[in-house]
């Protein structure tokens, strides 16, 4: 694990960190690097869900900034992470409180019946009842164990705060990706509706040709079958849009019966991380700024502190002191000597047990497990950066090719329809041209949306999603 972490750190000279050392990541500057490009690509996609009927009662138009804002305010994972921070803060305050003595007030009813001594030295028969109040102050502490417990709880508080940041980053990423899934589902609906309109027009033409004697019944049947298939595809696409809307409402913690739809307009290809940024720099940035990785590293430090607390708790000295205060007896009261006592106790010693060795062994194993978790997290961070970067590069290459395919397919469809009207083309040629144009449009939309999603994933993999505009 140590060699692997140093391998990541060795990618650049300005981050001389080592897991095995005592360097604290929080002591380094946290100014996020600028990874945005100077210019943006020109590819764009029209977004319009106005022809999609609401699932039930209400349609709510949203854009990407609104989706992220609502997710930050309402997402349940973020709220849970905040409560985990509060729970960790309570545990830390409890460990600090172990330094101070405890106060135990109590009230005891004391009844005496029979022969008792009186203040002047005689004996008398009497029945007396006293209700003395006492306050005991106790201080029991194993100094080494308490010190390590405080360090461990402080590290867990820091880790919970870092995990909360990681949840915020991941929620923003998921919400943005799901928003683009909704846009892609809308593109499927738009293409399916356009295909259905083309099929309806083709059927109208074939029926007109059949009436005039220039067409064949088989061509009309092909057009009818194509229209039926287009209608089925449209229903399936609308269902996919509804599913994408429901998925997004869960992330936003909204009513699932409300249909979310992208605001009408033009969605552009958006570059968040410049393409010329070296992969080595990306890996170093991710190791430096990923809050989930920092949380795992902090938990590793907490496990080390737990190991120290276990050792000191088993073999270290324990100090105990107590002082009891009693209320003064009432005037001329008949009391026994026990009522007049004031107690002081101070002890020190050890409490050795054979079970200590097992607890120490378990603590050492927990440290090793924390090291493996850190090693695993490093692997996941590196793979996330590489995967998102490769997806971004691939989508960037696909966009101009897909755009050229759309241009060619639409022109081919136009020419094929003109040939059909002129009597020099066949119905099957038009159907094939329509299918080709549909696939080209879907490929283009998928390429743009996939690029934007990969850029979001890459920025999140670098730990910089919160810095994006």
Highest mean pLDDT: which range of 43-52, 225-234, 337-346: 225-234
Q: Residue 342 pLDDT more than 70?
A: no
Lowest mean per-residue pLDDT among 289-298, 310-319, 355-364: 310-319
For residue 14, what pLDDT is reported? 30
pLDDT, averaged across the chain: 80
pLDDT band at 225 (very low <50, low <70, confident <90, very high): very high
For residue 33, what pLDDT is reported? 67
For residue 9, what pLDDT is reported? 38
**CATH class of segment(s) 2-101+143-316+357-467:** mainly alpha
Q: What is the pLDDT of residues 208-220, one digit of tens each?
A: 888 888 778 888 8
Helix (H, G, I), strand (E, B) or coil at 18: coil
Instruction: Choose among 57, 70, 49, 53: nearest CA to 257.
Output: 57
Say if residues 360 and 327 touch (Cβ distance below 8 Å).
no
Q: Residue 195 pLDDT more than 70?
A: yes
Q: How far apart are the first and last CA of the chain?
A: 36
Cross-strand bridge partners of residue 262: 62
Q: Residue 304 pLDDT more than 90?
A: no
Q: What is the pLDDT of residues 231-276, one digit of tens each?
A: 999 999 999 999 999 999 999 999 999 999 898 877 788 888 888 8
**What residue ranges do the domains of the chain occupy?**
2-101+143-316+357-467
Lowest mean per-residue pLDDT among 28-32, 257-261, 381-385: 28-32
Q: Residue 10 pLDDT more than 60?
A: no
Lowest mean per-residue pLDDT among 140-149, 186-195, 336-345: 336-345
| C-alpha torsion sign, points 120, 121, 123, 127 | positive
Q: Tell me what the mean pLDDT of segment 125-137 comes to.
A: 70
For residue 121, what pLDDT is reported? 61
Q: Tell me what the mean pLDDT of segment 411-433 comes to.
A: 84
Q: What is the pLDDT of residues 62-115, one digit of tens each?
A: 989 999 999 999 999 999 999 999 998 998 888 888 888 877 777 777 666 666
For residue 118, what pLDDT is reported? 63
For residue 12, what pLDDT is reported? 32
For residue 81, what pLDDT is reported? 92
Q: Tell me what the mean pLDDT of segment 149-169 comes to.
A: 90
Percent of the chain with pLDDT over 90: 29
For residue 387, what pLDDT is reported? 93
Sheet holding 102-107, edge to edge: 102-107, 133-141, 318-326, 344-349
Taking the C-alpha atoms of residue 286 and residue 279, their distance in angstroms, rounded to an integer, is 10
Q: 246 or 8, which is more confident?
A: 246
Q: 164 or 121, which is more confident?
A: 164
Vertex 68 angle, CA 65 and 70, to 5°: 105
For residue 24, what pLDDT is reported? 40
pLDDT band at 330 (very low <50, low <70, confident <90, very high): low
For residue 19, what pLDDT is reported? 29
Instruction: Choose among 128, 69, 87, 88: nearest CA to 329.
Output: 128
Going from the C-alpha of 442 to that of each of 264, 266, 269, 405, the distances in angstroms are 18, 16, 15, 11
Q: Tell me what the mean pLDDT of segment 437-447 comes to.
A: 90
């Amino acid at each position: 694990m140590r060699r692997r972490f140093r391998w990541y750190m060795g990618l650049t000279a300005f981050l001389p960190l080592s897991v095995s050392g005592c360097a604290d990541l929080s002591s380094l500057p946290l100014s996020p690097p600028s990874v945005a490009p100077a210019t943006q690509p020109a590819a764009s996609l029209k977004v319009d869900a106005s022809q999609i009927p609401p699932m039930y009662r209400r349609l709510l138009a949203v854009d990407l900034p609104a989706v992220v804002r609502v997710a930050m305010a309402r997402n349940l994972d973020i709220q849970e992470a905040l409560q985990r921070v509060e729970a960790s803060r309570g545990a830390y305050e409890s460990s600090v409180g172990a330094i101070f003595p405890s106060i135990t007030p109590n009230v005891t009813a004391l009844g005496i019946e029979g022969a008792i001594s009186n203040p002047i030295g005689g004996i008398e028969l009497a029945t007396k009842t006293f209700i003395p109040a006492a306050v005991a102050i106790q201080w029991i502490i194993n100094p080494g164990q308490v010190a390590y417990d405080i360090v461990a709880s402080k590290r867990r508080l820091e880790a919970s705060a870092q995990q909360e940041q990681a949840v915020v980053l991941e929620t923003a990423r998921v919400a943005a990706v799901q928003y683009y899934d909704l846009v892609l589902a809308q593109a499927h609906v738009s293409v399916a509706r356009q295909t259905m309109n083309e099929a309806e027009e083709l059927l109208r033409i074939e029926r007109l040709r059949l009436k005039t004697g220039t067409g064949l019944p088989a061509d009309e049947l092909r057009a009818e079958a194509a229209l039926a298939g287009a209608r089925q595809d449209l229903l399936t696409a609308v269902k996919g849009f509804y599913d994408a809307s429901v998925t997004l409402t869960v992330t936003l913690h909204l009513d699932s019966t409300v249909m979310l739809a992208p605001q009408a307009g033009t969605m552009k290809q958006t570059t968040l991380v410049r393409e010329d940024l070296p992969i080595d720099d990306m890996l170093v940035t991710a190791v430096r700024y990923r809050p989930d990785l920092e949380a795992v590293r902090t938990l590793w430090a907490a496990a080390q502190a737990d190991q120290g607390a276990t050792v000191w708790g088993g073999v270290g000295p324990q100090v105990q002191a107590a002082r009891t205060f009693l209320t003064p007896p009432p005037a001329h009261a008949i009391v026994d000597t026990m009522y007049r006592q004031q107690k002081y106790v101070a002890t020190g010693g050890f409490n050795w047990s054979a079970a200590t060795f097992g607890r120490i062994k378990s603590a050492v194993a927990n440290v090793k497990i924390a090291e493996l978790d850190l090693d695993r997290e490093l692997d996941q961070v590196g793979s996330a950066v590489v995967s998102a970067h490769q997806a971004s590069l691939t989508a960037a290459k696909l966009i101009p090719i897909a755009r050229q395919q759309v241009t060619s397919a639409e022109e081919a469809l136009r020419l094929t329809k003109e040939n059909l009207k002129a009597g020099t083309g066949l119905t099957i040629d038009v159907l094939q041209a329509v299918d080709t144009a549909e696939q080209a449009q879907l490929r283009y939309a998928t390429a743009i949306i996939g690029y934007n999603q990969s850029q979001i994933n890459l920025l999140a993999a670098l730990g910089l999603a919160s810095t994006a505009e």
